[in-house]
Amino acid sequence: MDGILNVYKEAGYTSHDVVAKLRGILGQKKIGHTGTLDPAATGVLPVCCGKATKICELLTNKDKTYQAVCRLGVITDTQDTTGKILEERTVKNITVEEIYQAVASFEGEIMQTPPMYSALKVNGKKLYELAREGKEVERKARPVTISKIKILQVNLEEQIFSMEVTCSKGTYIRTLCHDIGMKLGTGAAMENLIRTRVERFCIEDAITLDEIEHLAKEDSNQLAKKMIPIDRMFLQYPAMQIESGMAHYLANGNQLYDKQLKPFIKDNEELQKTVEATRKEVQERYRIYDENGQFRAIYQKKGREYHVVKMF
């Protein structure tokens, strides 16, 4: 099967676990996830199958949205409540207004230092492996973008608040919670995390591994319908189809020319996108389909020539 599954990752699974289980369910090896989600976290994990593994990096780089619960008054070694408590602080003097102000101050481009308990590698070894050995190494702060952050609820009696965060690749929500707590002076650790969106993949449409396994056994046609076709990820590009008798040029990834292509229209929505895009007289990317209407490649137009960007 080729395409992207919007998997709902349940607590207790690593992203790697999800891939391993799917390989068994679908009976295919070529499967990859699109960005690590902590074992305790739940939510959206797009998984690329077959030829779609070529676009894993594309989805990894997209913005993501999370809902997080932060516990005030505690600092841990993992920056979440699963870790060892390093320090406890009072929350008595903090106001709701101060929490709102502190959270809002993190919107925009910020510098964030990756936590020791992360999968980043230093000299070929993952940071969390070093952390488990009791070692700590220097990490450089790096820029990340918090495009939107808002408080969902504050409960000072329980010493928690929840927030929704839309952010760029490489943002650690655990670290964000920790940094907010440090700004408040109370410390904070992430208590719960749900990823609600990765690019166009939303939690409302996500399906669990159990549901996927059931469909694979009982209704493979329905499972196929849950698989997002690869070309749906490139609808911003106009669609072209290879002319009859020219298929071998496309199959070999050769450069193409206008005379070898024609507009490919599958529905009114794509027709409109094609018309609008072909009005542009700039270098443009195109979805290229074979004679049978199967999506095969992304090409870049340069002058009169089309050059292959990626084959599928």
Active site residues: 38
Contact status, residue 288 vs residue 240, Cβ threshold 8 Å: yes
Task: State both tokens at 105.
Answer: 């101050």
Distance of alpha carbon 242 from alpha carbon 290, whole angstroms: 5
C-alpha to C-alpha distances, 66 to 9, 90, 146, nearest whole angstrom: 13, 27, 11
Distance of alpha carbon 296 from alpha carbon 186, whole angstroms: 55
Q: Which stretches of the chain are assigned E, i.e. beta strand?
A: 3-9, 31-33, 42-49, 64-72, 74-76, 85-88, 108-112, 121-122, 125-126, 142-155, 160-167, 188-198, 201-202, 239-242, 256-257, 261-263, 285-289, 295-302, 305-311
Nearest 5 degrees, angle CA 46-CA 49-CA 55? 70
CA 46 to chain centre: 7
Residue matched to tokens 């529905």: 267
Task: State both tokens at 229.
Answer: 């076709």
Task: State both tokens at 127.
Answer: 């940071």
CA 132 to chain centre: 27
Alpha helices in the chain (DSSP H): 15-26, 56-60, 96-104, 127-132, 173-184, 209-218, 220-226, 247-251, 268-278
